[in-house]
Structure 1
Amino acid sequence: MKQATFRAIKTFSYLIFSGICSVTLLFSGITLCLIPNLPPVEEIQDIQLQVPLKIFTQDGKLISEYGEKHRSPISYHEIPTNFINALISAEDNRFWEHQGVDLVGLARAAAQLATTGSIQSGGSTITMQVAKNYFLSREKTFSRKFNEILLALQIEKALSKEKILELYLNKIYLGHRSYGIAAAARTYYGKSVHELTLAQTAMIAGLPKAPSAFNPIRNPERATERRNWILDRMFALGYITENQKIIAKQSQVSAKYHSPKSEIDALYAADMARTEALKIFPDDIYTSGYKIFTTIDSSHQASALKAVSTHLVNYSKRHGFLGPESHTEISDLLNDASNPIETKELTTLLKDHRIINHLIPALVWEVSSKEANLITKTGEMISIPVAKLTWARKRVNINKKGSRVRKASDVLTQGDIVRVYLDPENGWVLGQHPEAQAAFIAINPNTGAISALQGGFEFYASKFNRATSAKRQAGSAFKPFIYYSALQDGFTAASIINDAPVVFQDQQLETSWRPENASGKFYGPTRLRQALYQSRNLISIRIVQTLGIKQTIETVRQFGFSDEQLPKDLSLSLGSAAVTPLELASAYSTLANGGKNIKSYIIDHIEDINGNIVYQNERARPDPEKNLSKEKPNSIDPRSVYIITDMMKDVIKLGTARSAKSLNRNDLAGKTGTTNDQVDAWFSGFNSDLVATVWVGFDNPTTLGRNEYGGRAALPIWKDFMEEALPPYESSMQQPEGIVTIRVNPTTGHRALPGEKDAIFEIFRSEHVPPPPEERNARPVLIDQGHPTDVLDELF
């Protein structure tokens, strides 16, 4: 019996030994077969995680983020202890003890495989998940699992536990395009990982197992169960106290989707910068964690957005009420006494209506003759009295409105969905989404840096950047370049030109061209300075007649305009050239800086993920060895620029931009512009430190309406911006050499006699000073018809 038992034990031991040897040989064989095909563990240190492109203002405020994956890598030392403990409790409680593989977990997985015939749980450690996430596929096969084990063992030998955790927490997918815990904290709670509560930390720690199933936004009940299980595990493992566990478990689910938080609305500028950066780094601009620092000044941008939004809405309101955006029947909800309606139910009806700039969707739930009661998308109950609704006469057409508003019910009806906004002086008022568009751009004329840019009323409604891409006729805003051409040809600010009717005949036209001033009147002999600030069309035409179209174009193109966009006929004198607001602002910058051509730019510099500067705009920080001023010879006469700028100051003091006198500054110059039938309205103005250009119009060119000239539609935007953007001190252009100031007779333009009454001071280039009285002719020289025969064949 003992001998039989001994033989059985011997046989069993032999079988066990043989089995162990066989398994060892099999394991060794598989290992020797697979190891050569495994990637070197050292590569994990060099793997570049996909990190989105971020775009900032020049003062470091986030504008926008571009990329498929939201990720903000952090180091191990930046990870809160609670987060590490929560994750280990949920995923791998023996992480600090094992060497990359947890045999207990693998045994459990093997038992499940043996009993069910399929892999139920992988028995993975955090290290094994790092191996899988960085090197392997997600398929559930034996070979992949074996590779995962081998890699995990190698990773543990090559890296510290802290580094493994860091790699894991930056790589894992946690739902809503969020990769890594820093991105998840922002996505679900709008916080940094350091600001999370214990309950929120446990909630995010529960996501790696199944980001969809345990998503606190989509599945709050299952997410809460997972969170509470993790809290129990943390308590059992001694990471938190029982009191901490109880308080955290009682916390309500507070997760909601937070998009990447923009600190300033400058999306048109961000899109412009993104497009330019794509040319610099075409292969990895969206994935390598680049940071673009633009030239946008956040305070300038905020002022520009506010001005554009406010005055486009004001323009729209001037032409009557367009009616509600939509209507929904709510009478049954309000009249159901058995089920009193709650605020949340009403605001739900506004879920498909976005807040656009300062315009907030609101639902009218009650109307009387005296007032309308509304609830906003943000849940505020507001009242608007009839006195604030008087503007809202029905729009019949752009120039005609309906009957006067006497009751609130003349305007609004229960169930209407409209737009409201909070006016600082008047409280809640009714507004409407404007149909017209605007473009705004501000430039530092000394560097070309764009400090503010708005390409339309709202980026998401229309991504077309009108500031850089909309070519529209400039109207009278183009006249300063015509007048500069005149000064270059010997005219002076005191030259007298006859503002009288002129008719042009052309055999190719069925009718004659009879240009007029905007007023329809003619004013006779007029000084050049006065003609500019009063924007006299006929005098501009006579200037070009006298100079000749070819010569005028040759001079005007020095301001950066191309030959292709400058018409080869007398319409050039009235601003028929199609330009973008950026092109016009750049040309005005040449006036503002005393005659230097500049090229605008939007990107200051670009940093890589580690903060190293990988691109520097040389215009922002010129290289002393590269004299950029020599790139394009300066052919513009600073003396004529100085005179034309001084003439343009009178546009604000005396002319079509007089409302800007309210800024109480003496260093501002500019010019209004309006095209035929008020299709385009412009204002471009500056001092020596800042240029700003505004355009207002419809994308499909049509009239803005009666009296919507540049001084009414565009100038208020410029004025509001400049009031906030300009520093309190004034800046003046340095007077160049060769400028002389003398007194002249305002009627004749001649040098004034000693003691002559009503004489005024005028500035001249030294070689164009009017002769003294004893040398002058008795009568003023009127530039009347110029040389029409020289240009008739070039018309139209």
Structure 2
Amino acid sequence: MATSKKKKAAPKKSKTSYIIGFWSVFGIGILLVIILFLMAGWGAFGKMPTFEELENPETNLATEVFSSDGKTLGKYYNENRTPVKYDDLPENLVNALVATEDERYYHHSGIDARGTLRAVAYLGSRGGASTITQQLSKLLFSDTPNSKVERVFQKIKEWVIATRLERQYTKQEIITMYLNKYDFLYQAVGIRSASRIYFGKEPKELQTEEAAVLVAMLKNPILYNPAKEEFKDNALRRRNQVLKQMEKNGYLTPSEKDSLQALPLKLNFSPEGHDEGMATYFRAYVQRFLREWINENPKPDGSEYNIYRDGLKIYTSIDSKMQEYAEEAVERHISHLQKEFTRQNKNNPTAPFRDVDESEVEQIVNSAIKRSVRWKEMKAKDIPEDEILASFDKEREMRVFSWASANHTKDTVMTPRDSILYYKSYLQAGMMSMTPQTGEVKAWVGGTDFKHFKYDHVKQGKRQVGSTFKPFVYATAIDQLKLSPCDTLPKNRFTIEAGKFGLLKDWSPQNAGNDADSYVGMISLKDALANSVNTVTARLIDKTGPRPVIDLLDKLGIDTENIPEVPSIALGTPDLSLFEMVSAYSTFANEGVYVKPLVVSRIEDKNGTVLYQNVPQTRDVLSKEAAYVTVNLLEGVTQSGSGVRLRGNYATNLDHYKRAVTGYPYNFDKSIPIAGKTGTTQNQSDGWFMGMVPNLVTGVWVGAEDRSVHFPTITYGQGATMALPIWGMYMKDVYADDALNISKGEFPRPENLSIEVNCNNYGGENDSYSDVPDELDF
């Protein structure tokens, strides 16, 4: 019988071998982790920041424009980022951040081991493991990964960078950098922009519930965005979760948490786009100023400053309250005047144009088409012209300007050709206010809405100035001939014959109305200027000659290159800018001393180093006596001439005036010295008013883009109706604001004045011309 063989048992492994194996695997794992981190530090998984980059992490810092009273007017940026210091962060914001994003922030060195283990154990279901420092490292130096594998390597890089950041910066600096870097959407990059855009205040002013809203957005700025209607409930729930975390970590009591959670979510949403906010036309001018300054002033290393990322600080002369009053006055009047203008165009066959035939209208529109962005873009793609023109006759959805809506826009359907006609039908305005003694420009309104009408009617636009030119002729005559406002001249017809001053034919200007009475009798210079008697102005330029008047203009800062040396300039034929007119009139108020307008007072870099400091530029132009007498003449305009409406005098056409003007009467007391001059150009294309008090000179222009777009009659088309009301509304507001210190006193009278300005003391009898209807102002 065969015996069976037993199987030999395998030898048992000792516990020692298991232990050795475990620690070998563990050691290899640790070694691999160390190698991975070393490789990450060496840049094997992508570029790592150098020591210098950690010392100065690259950020796009917005250039900020400040008013003279310290308010932010706007910014220039690729990213709307303006950094703040840790001391500018409210405690409630820092507490909300730490309680929500990194409870053990003050107890780790960049990586939270406990949080990491929890995230691994629960696969992220109980929260992630990223510390505030890791989140900062991701914002500063990591690109968006294209795959999960890349994300793993990116995470390793973030850990390495986080530890380096912790060695390089304090905890407070890391929090500050993180909040300065984060993008809260709506061009709100960084906590300061976010505070201003979402709540209209500086970070230091944030309430606890507001700070909680911004911290809530750190989880996902889209999903928890309070400005997006569809996500408001998400934002509210997330805000309340942040408040709960603050209570959990001892930053709030339970009762404080409950009361704050019960509050509704309130915003003061104020976007800060380039086309939005205050002083948009002014900011566009400052941008051009900066470009010129940058071209002439390189950095110490020879490179150029970048206004979109170097964090420059631009301090300007604009007063934020005066700017606000100016913008309100323009909008209030022009929106009202537009209704009357539109009403009068209803039966106009060539609307919005007048005094042109259909062929001229077609020429105007075609010219506008070829200047349009659409034409240029299609032309750049080599699209045939006939196809481009055809595209202007196809209806499409578009958003256009409208006074009827709060945001000045409406959605409609029209052809691009019709949109050109639509936009040309709108009246525009320009307004500038300046302190004559210092040259500081205090308010600048270049148009009615920068988003839709980019053209600046303060500096870019030049239009005929009409009778507002006449004071330059009077000032020249006073300076040369020592004339008194009480001197009289005949109103009768006057001709400067061909040959004189190079004239090719006789020049015989007409007075307003051109009836027999307008040429009868004598009139004082004061009444002649107040009522714009053309024959008197012609007599004066005949006495002085055109060249001395042009020389005076040049000294007053006006570009005279295109002003012809002919006597007809006396009636306001030259095209001048509002900027030039205000600075020139300011010389009269400043006792004959011209001061170059000051727009930018100082430029600093992001560290506060002064890069530019304005140096006032002044020159003597007129004697104090000649300047004072000119001002005295201009006071007559608001006492008895076309500016008398400022005193509450509406003796003529009151019903018509009510339709065109809102906010009347102004009723400035007769004891308040106001000097000024209205101006109206041919066919009522331009309405002007230049107004002065001792420490403020303000000019207003109103018209349309094309000179053929105008009111049909002078009742509405004169400066006293189109422009003067804006000045009146503005000055009522600035006078009411005591903090602005706008003078109600007399203009400074020179000592030993040799020219008599009080006509009660003047020999001879003056024939007053003050009863002429003010709508006949030319």
TM-score normalized by the length of structure 1: 0.69
Gaps of at least 5 residues in structure 2 are: 1-7, 295-303, 347-398, 411-423, 648-667, 736-741, 768-778
SS in 1 for 2:57: coil
**Structure in which a larger fraction of residues adopt helix:** 2
Q: What is the aligned partner in structure 2 of residue 91 from structure 1?
A: 101
1:143/1:480 Cα in 2 relative to 1: closer, same or farther (>3 Å)? same
The correspondence for 1:706, drawn from 706, 710, 714, is: 714
SS in 1 for 2:433: strand
Give the CA deviation at 1:692: 1.8
CA deviations 1:11-52 (Å, max 9, x no partner) are 333333433443454445455544355434564343364343
Give the CA deviation at 1:450: 1.1
Q: What is the aligned partner in structure 1 of residue 395 from structure 2?
A: none
Give the CA deviation at 1:585: 1.2
Give the CA deviation at 1:265: 4.2
SS in 2 for 1:564: coil
Asked whether the equivalents of residues 429 and 700 of structure 2 are also in contact (C-alpha less than 8 Å), the reply is yes
Q: What is the aligned partner in structure 1 of residue 643 from structure 2?
A: 657
Give the CA deviation at 1:468: 1.8
Give the CA deviation at 1:445: 1.4
| Alignment pair present for 1:483 and 2:474 | yes
Q: What is the aligned partner in structure 2 of residue 716 from structure 1?
A: 725
Give the CA deviation at 1:693: 1.6
Distance 1:675 1:613 in 2: 45
Q: What is the aligned partner in structure 2 of residue 390 from structure 1?
A: none
1:467/1:255 Cα in 2 relative to 1: closer, same or farther (>3 Å)? closer
The correspondence for 1:134, drawn from 123, 140, 145, is: 140
Distance 2:206 2:755 in 1: 70
Give the CA deviation at 1:71: 4.1
Tell me the C-alpha RMSD between the 2 structures: 4.5
SS in 2 for 1:466: coil
SS in 1 for 2:189: coil
CA deviations 1:710-756 (Å, max 9, x no partner) are 2333333334434554546413233265725499999xxxx95xxxx
Distance 1:19 1:190 in 2: 58
| Alignment pair present for 1:615 and 2:615 | no
Q: In structure 2, give the amino acid aligned to 1:465.
A: D
Give the CA deviation at 1:583: 0.6
The correspondence for 1:177, drawn from 166, 178, 187, is: 187
Distance 2:262 2:734 in 1: 50
CA deviations 1:627-647 (Å, max 9, x no partner) are x54xx5x35344333333333
CA deviations 1:285-314 (Å, max 9, x no partner) are 233444433222344334433433343345
Q: What is the aligned partner in structure 2 of residue 575 from structure 1?
A: 572
| Alignment pair present for 1:471 and 2:462 | yes
The correspondence for 1:271, drawn from 284, 309, 312, is: 284
1:551/1:174 Cα in 2 relative to 1: closer, same or farther (>3 Å)? closer
Farther-moved stretch of structure 1 (48-57 vs 560-569): 48-57
Query: How many residues get paired?
Result: 641
The correspondence for 1:211, drawn from 201, 221, 244, is: 221
Give the CA deviation at 1:150: 2.0
SS in 2 for 1:219: helix
SS in 2 for 1:645: helix
| Alignment pair present for 1:648 and 2:657 | no
Farther-moved stretch of structure 1 (586-595 vs 272-281): 272-281
1:485/1:222 Cα in 2 relative to 1: closer, same or farther (>3 Å)? closer
CA deviations 1:337-372 (Å, max 9, x no partner) are xxxxxxxxxxxxxxx999969979999xxxxxxxxx
Give the CA deviation at 1:676: 1.6
Give the CA deviation at 1:103: 3.7
Q: What is the aligned partner in structure 2 of residue 731 from structure 1?
A: 746
Asked whether the equivalents of residues 673 and 744 of structure 2 are also in contact (C-alpha less than 8 Å), the reply is no
The correspondence for 1:501, drawn from 485, 488, 493, is: 493
Asked whether the equivalents of residues 479 and 540 of structure 1 are also in contact (C-alpha less than 8 Å), the reply is yes
The correspondence for 2:554, drawn from 550, 553, 557, is: 557
Distance 1:361 1:166 in 2: 38
Distance 1:244 1:529 in 2: 71
Distance 1:451 1:667 in 2: 20
Distance 1:224 1:311 in 2: 41
1:541/1:2 Cα in 2 relative to 1: closer, same or farther (>3 Å)? farther
SS in 2 for 1:268: helix
The correspondence for 1:604, drawn from 591, 601, 605, is: 601
Give the CA deviation at 1:576: 0.3
Give the CA deviation at 1:466: 0.8
Asked whether the equivalents of residues 187 and 271 of structure 2 are also in contact (C-alpha less than 8 Å), the reply is no
Q: What is the aligned partner in structure 2 of residue 398 from structure 1?
A: none
Identity of matched residues, %: 28
Distance 2:253 2:757 in 1: 89
Give the CA deviation at 1:572: 1.0
Q: What is the aligned partner in structure 2 of residue 445 from structure 1?
A: 436
Give the CA deviation at 1:478: 0.6
1:571/1:313 Cα in 2 relative to 1: closer, same or farther (>3 Å)? same
| Alignment pair present for 1:695 and 2:698 | no
Asked whether the equivalents of residues 95 and 125 of structure 1 are also in contact (C-alpha less than 8 Å), the reply is yes
Give the CA deviation at 1:453: 2.2
Q: How does 1:112-127 map to 2 (within 5 A)?
A: 123-127=129-133
CA deviations 1:201-250 (Å, max 9, x no partner) are 54433333332233343434544555565566556656555555555555
Distance 2:267 2:553 in 1: 59
CA deviations 1:92-115 (Å, max 9, x no partner) are 3343333322345545666799xx
SS in 2 for 1:468: coil
Farther-moved stretch of structure 1 (483-492 vs 581-590): 483-492
Q: What is the aligned partner in structure 2 of residue 459 from structure 1?
A: 450
1:242/1:468 Cα in 2 relative to 1: closer, same or farther (>3 Å)? same
Distance 2:9 2:106 in 1: 48
TM-score normalized by the length of structure 2: 0.70
Distance 2:171 2:719 in 1: 67
Distance 2:209 2:547 in 1: 76
CA deviations 1:607-643 (Å, max 9, x no partner) are 4555555432222xxxxxxxx54xx5x3534433333
SS in 2 for 1:208: coil
Asked whether the equivalents of residues 556 and 621 of structure 2 are also in contact (C-alpha less than 8 Å), the reply is no
| Alignment pair present for 1:671 and 2:677 | yes
Gaps of at least 5 residues in structure 1 are: 325-351, 364-432, 620-627, 761-796
SS in 1 for 2:632: helix
Asked whether the equivalents of residues 182 and 193 of structure 1 are also in contact (C-alpha less than 8 Å), the reply is yes
Asked whether the equivalents of residues 663 and 719 of structure 1 are also in contact (C-alpha less than 8 Å), the reply is no
1:8/1:103 Cα in 2 relative to 1: closer, same or farther (>3 Å)? farther
1:157/1:691 Cα in 2 relative to 1: closer, same or farther (>3 Å)? closer
Q: In structure 2, give the amino acid aligned to 1:482.
A: V
Distance 1:573 1:27 in 2: 87
Q: What is the aligned partner in structure 1 of residue 659 from structure 2?
A: none
Asked whether the equivalents of residues 433 and 582 of structure 2 are also in contact (C-alpha less than 8 Å), the reply is yes
SS in 1 for 2:561: helix
Distance 2:265 2:222 in 1: 16
Q: How does 1:252-651 map to 2 (within 5 A)?
A: 252-254=264-266, 257-260=269-272, 265-280=278-293, 283-316=305-338, 321=343, 435-490=426-481, 492-493=483-484, 497-502=489-494, 514-520=508-514, 521-523=518-520, 526-609=523-606, 613-619=610-616, 628-629=617-618, 634-651=620-637
1:355/1:187 Cα in 2 relative to 1: closer, same or farther (>3 Å)? farther
Farther-moved stretch of structure 1 (451-460 vs 179-188): 179-188
CA deviations 1:500-519 (Å, max 9, x no partner) are 33568989999986531112
Asked whether the equivalents of residues 41 and 151 of structure 1 are also in contact (C-alpha less than 8 Å), the reply is no
Distance 1:239 1:598 in 2: 57
Asked whether the equivalents of residues 61 and 264 of structure 1 are also in contact (C-alpha less than 8 Å), the reply is no
Distance 1:201 1:594 in 2: 53
Asked whether the equivalents of residues 567 and 576 of structure 1 are also in contact (C-alpha less than 8 Å), the reply is no
Give the CA deviation at 1:477: 1.0
1:202/1:305 Cα in 2 relative to 1: closer, same or farther (>3 Å)? closer
Asked whether the equivalents of residues 62 and 263 of structure 1 are also in contact (C-alpha less than 8 Å), the reply is no
